[in-house]
Structure 1
């Protein structure tokens, strides 16, 4: 009788995990093209990157740790003994990459693949054991294990996976699935993961190794495989016949980092930044679980022909329990220039029986029709030209000030940010760009005169990035207006795309600096007047990314100040805080922001006891629902019975009219709308204070 025949099935499975090396899995090896590409990538990093990159032992240790993080971030598959034969890479990885000798790095992946395969087979065997899940007891599952030690024994990982399996089952049970449905769904999930694992190719492994190599330098430098290079940023951008969302990996989950202005997801109003996508379905097809799936594979599932529909199972950003997901449907579409065009509206502010009119120009992105511009056409579309038209339109309506709404504007054409600033200043520098050699190029507005010299405000949030930060920073440095909102993203670097013998490399080559000398990198732009934000800076923004380049300064340049907004800040902040205290939407925003942070800090583990899990989840949701209903009562709106109803999937109405201050918009996106209206209030305060100061001087 064989060894396995004398053991119980569960013990046999444990032994198999320890000693098995599935012959069915072919050992993956690097190709000659990949070896050469590794050498070219290393040379590009050493000689072309903005930072001073030194491929020494310290770098090797950091890159090796990052590779392990990519392979097994939750310390759930590999044992310490699995890693031991490859520990020499902690000091040798630099030479390995420089010489294109990737065999050992590939071998470590093969070991991970063996462990991963065996674990999935272990899970499937457990499901075949006539499993009946019991959700009693007092066990808890730790959610974040990035800092856990590597397990010494297989039994330690078995205990972890017993809890993981139970948690997977409990998550489904809380959606009212019976035991048979739970087993069927989990079997489908694990079989799908096993199938995808078996389809791994050498290019996939090479991409993981290069992600570790480039990711130690900065988060925006990356290797693009030939497949990925067919559509720039295909791993994150779905705007081409997709849903118009930027995605990123977040542990085992895929997270929405931002929405493409004018894209299908933004128009549908069913996705928000920091939402996590846990399953994807086509039209009426079955939902495919994507937890643990590679980002580009998730992208492939979501992309599709224009006019088709995709269904996403989404855990909202504010949810603290992964069981509280909801399915949304988005019709795929393309994004054209018109969808991203600047548009204006007039808002009315009542003061002492008098109606004051303020203009708001929403600028979703910095765009230019490059083809028409290069062809020499006179009427090509661009952000600056469209904003200029909106300014003229607002001036004809005698507005007392203009707010530039740059919220969620992730940047775009630098030339447009530069020329747009020129609409509000009479020539002068706008931004400094420092390259890898330390040379600084100064960009500015050379056109005499201004199109608008009245009171100006700029509204930003955590998703205002790159060119948006240049504009907001310049307006602030010139003293040209008031910047309001929350701290911006902090992306102050410039990337270029270069061909390799195999694939491409996106390389950080330069850094932005304000005319004051401050970098926009990492810290972003700090508003003059802060609004609370639901976007957690520890989860969204440059400072949340590993190995983000640091903030620093260069020499400032000479420029003329147009005003001194700082003289009025105390009065402006005082008036704003008084209004915010009386505004249910602002009170909600501040309290919800604090509560979300508190709940995230508390939720480091989840109970595996069904009743306890439900109690904890209900208590957390009760707090969130209470805040939402406090806001609704204060506004005279109907209260909600469930927290999950707080996100209304109904798309926003078209805001292209002059009067976007509609009750419909305020009810559907009340917090966003409250920020616009309060920005108008602040700008009116500023205009009146300036006017009073000029009167005194006379």
Structure 2
């Protein structure tokens, strides 16, 4: 296939004067304002150039080895281009990349125009774990790859049977399935041969015929081609500047004027939408977290790591493919007026195969402070003939009504005030201990995390903040007295981040309570938003450290007692982000320890493991996490044979179904006949969440009894 090296002159995207000025501003900010000591030298240029390649063509599916060599000088002069505001060479490279994409999409359409029938009886396989692929040396080498991808796209449609009015998109064939969608190695070996009966049954397996498949794929690639041709100078500038920023750390980011507006809306929580934070994941858009109290979180229909493949407006009608679409465009499609309905076709994080998408409907709404407020409950535990009570306080995020506080209103809302009130309420209910549930708490107002620590300690430091000059500021609780001095535990998970990690880390360091759950997110950096003449720059300027001197960056807070997790740390967390800043330490500060929970951990863990092995929900969670890990480790390709692909899917589904029915049987519930029944039940994990919460209450009770025995001895 002959590929022109440059776009037609009239179609070329060129830098603007304001764009080149913005590049100079960003370069200055990176050099003199970032937390790290950034030298915009040749070593940095090479890193920024490589980051740009990773962003635009992560699987080496479009560009050729000669293309990279032709523009290899950018690996030496990326910094010069930014600092001098001379972006012509970078734009020329992007034009070449754009032409490669357009040519490839047109090639796909041409192939479909020649196709009348798909043969799914061959023995080929498509690699899914191929991010280390070498750059292709020729167009024909890429043709071989894309023939497989086209066949895989057709096979996915044949098996999933997405209808024209219900899905304009299928999962992108280039990306690896999310957990636990990987067959074990023993199950994925291609058969040595196939007989005539397999060929005869080929069409029996199909849920869509060839003509419908061809029509769908033509629509998909035509839509993608149209979007690619709409790329403008601002889009290219964003790629160039974000490659520069993210080569230093994942949170340094350029916002174009339109993206800046969206970010402001998001930070003010005045966005009328579904309340989900999204991130780019290759050509997919992925759910990174859910806003507490938002429509998506309340519905239970979306989970972190779910991938969105299509979006539709209203209760019915066409879905628009968003595979390969820019993040801001996807956000615009999902955003809408309060009370309206948006339909999302997703690949669930737990999907066994990328063909197993489903459509969810969510009613848009505004996120209210009341929906994110702390709440409490009491868990009753019977042991022998005695009834015990453990209090639970759920803190979805750290919030404060800044305006009311600044205006001096007496009864303004804040996390600390609400939690204090709930503590008093639980004390009146004679609880023997309190569990603070910070699962899914992505942070919020640092001052509230700081002041809430003060409810459990009597004055002292809480967190250290180090700036780029090495100066350390010490934040702490200055109020005398405590709201609660009884047995305490903090329940966290992989989505507990930032201010949540500061709170959990301080409670752990002071020996004030137990930390239960999963290792936290690991975001220990501080960003500011700086205005540019054109857009804004989110810049990392400081780092958090615990009072022990250890950073929360990258490693987060490790629990004293760990629970199994279905969240893949390679998918979610600071360590999953490119160029995350390293973990390090500063000098510890003086502080008073309130207790030593570590001394009781062997006995507490032993009791926990005994209960967990007997709890059907907890046992299921452990087995499910083990299965997900096994499938992630063992699968690195998918079969292009429809019979083998079906067998692989069925084998994985059988394992999932067996686990689910074991759980149901142990609980005395009716078993389900297929894994699809479980997927169609909104994937509500409340029983698992409640199992974690109840086990935390049991650990809390064990701990309270240990403390009581010590004080009585």
TM-score range, shorter chain: over 0.9
Alignment partner, residue 176 of structure 2: none
Matched, 1:216 2:240: no
Following superposition, the deviation at residue 74 of structure 1 comes to 1.5
Q: Secondary structure at the match of 1:157?
A: helix
**In structure 1, C-alpha distance between the alignment counterparts of 2:642 and 2:287, rounded to whole Å:** 29
Match of 2:407 among 365, 375, 378: 375
Q: Distance in 1 between matches of 2:219 and 2:559?
A: 49
CA distance in 1, matches of 2:35, 2:373: 33
The residue correspondences of 1:322-337 to structure 2 (distance < 5 A) are 322-337=354-369
Q: Where does the alignment leave 5 or more consecutive residues of structure 2 unmatched? A: 161-206
1:302 aligned onto 2:319: no
Question: What TM-score, normalized by structure 2, do the two folds share?
Answer: 0.91
Q: What SS is found at the alignment partner of 2:262?
A: coil
Shift of 1:297: 1.3
1:512-551 → structure 2 map (5 Å cutoff): 512-551=544-583
The equivalent residue for 1:136 is 121
Alpha-carbon separation, structure 1, partners of 2:83 and 2:52: 16
1:693 paired to 2:710: yes
Q: Which residue of 1 aligns with 2:345?
A: 313
Match of 2:322?
290
- Report SS of the residue matched to 1:174: helix
- Per the TM alignment, residue 231 of structure 1 is displaced from its structure 2 partner at its CA by 2.5
Q: What is the RMSD computed on CA atoms of the aligned residues?
A: 1.6
Q: In structure 2, which of residues 439, 453, 475 is the aligned counterpart of residue 407 of structure 1?
A: 439
Asked if the contact 2:49–2:78 (Cα under 8 Å) also holds between the matched residues in 1, the reply is yes
In the aligned structure 2, how far is the partner of 1:390 from the partner of 1:182?
A: 57
TM-score, length basis structure 1: 0.93
Taking structure 1 as reference, are residues 374 and 277 closer, same or farther at Cα in structure 2, changes over 3 Å only? Answer: same
In the other structure, the counterpart of 1:205 is 236
CA shift for structure 1 position 320: 3.7
| Structure 1: unaligned runs, 5 residues or longer | 1-13, 653-667
Q: Structure 1 residue 19: deviation in Å? A: 3.6
Select 1:341's aligned residue among 355, 358, 373: 373
1-structure distance, mates of 2:266, 2:59: 22
Partner of residue 32, structure 1: 17
Tell me how far apart the structure 2 counterparts of residues 648 and 185 of structure 1 sit (CA, whole Å).
24
2:298 to 267, 277, 283: 267
- Give the match's secondary structure for 1:694: helix
After TM superposition, list the pairs within 5 Å mapping 1:135-534 onto structure 2.
135-175=120-160, 176-232=207-263, 240-283=271-314, 284-534=316-566
Aligned CA distance change for structure 1 residues 412 and 43 (closer, same or farther; 3 Å):
same
Cα distance in structure 2, aligned partners of 1:606 and 1:405: 40
CA distance in 2, matches of 1:439, 1:208: 33
CA pair 370-262 structure 1, distance change in 2 beyond 3 A: same
Distance 2:379 2:257 in 1: 49
Q: 1:350 to 1:41 in 2, by over 3 A?
A: same
**Contact residue 466 and residue 544 of structure 2 kept, 8 A:** yes
1:286-336 Cα offsets, whole Å, 9 max, x none, are 111211211111111111111111111111112241111111111111101
Q: Deviations over 1:336-385 (max 9, x none)?
A: 10010000000001111211011000000000011111111111101011
Contact 2:380-2:388 at 8 Å conserved across structures: yes
Which digits, 9 at most, give the CA deviation of each residue in 1:6-49, with x for residues without a partner? xxxxxxxx23xx24755386111111111111111111111111
Cα distance in 2, alignment partners of residues 392 and 651 from structure 1 = 36
Contact 1:236 1:246 in 2 (8 A): no
Q: Which residue of 2 aligns with 1:563?
A: 595
Secondary structure of the structure 2 residue equivalent to 1:549? coil
**Contact kept in structure 1, 2:7 and 2:96, CA below 8 Å:** no
CA distance in 2, matches of 1:190, 1:282: 21
Give 1:10's aligned residue: none
- Paired residues of 1:238 and 1:303 also in contact (CA < 8 A): no
What is the match of residue 584 of structure 1? 616
Q: CA deviation at 1:601?
A: 2.0
Native 8 Å contact 1:236 1:299 kept in 2: no
Instruction: Determine the structure 2 residue equivalent to 1:125.
Output: 110
TM-superposed CA distance for 1:232, in Å, is 1.6
Structure 1 residues 608-667: Cα deviation after superposition (integer angstroms, max 9, x where no partner): 111111111111111111111111111111212222332465598xxxxxxxxxxxxxxx
| Alignment partner, residue 111 of structure 1 | 96
Q: What's the counterpart of residue 553 of structure 1?
A: 585
Question: What's the offset of the Cα at 1:598?
Answer: 1.2
SS at match of 2:473: strand
Q: Are 1:228 and 1:235, in contact at CA under 8 Å, matched by a contact in 2?
A: no
| Residue aligned with 2:24, SS | helix
Aligned partners of 2:555 and 2:63: how far apart in 1?
37
Does the C-alpha gap of structure 1 residues 25 and 480 become closer, same or farther in structure 2, counting only changes over 3 Å?
farther
Are 1:56 and 2:41 matched, yes or no?
A: yes
Q: What do residues 61-94 of structure 1 show as CA deviations (whole Å, max 9, x unaligned)?
A: 1111111111211211111112222101111111
More off after superposition, 115-124 vs 235-244: 235-244
Ranked by relative contact order (alpha carbons within 8 Å, sequence separation 6 or more), the top structure is 2
TM-aligned CA deviation for residue 285 of structure 1:
2.5
Structure 1 residue ranges (4+ consecutive) displaced by more than 6 angstroms after TM superposition: 233-239
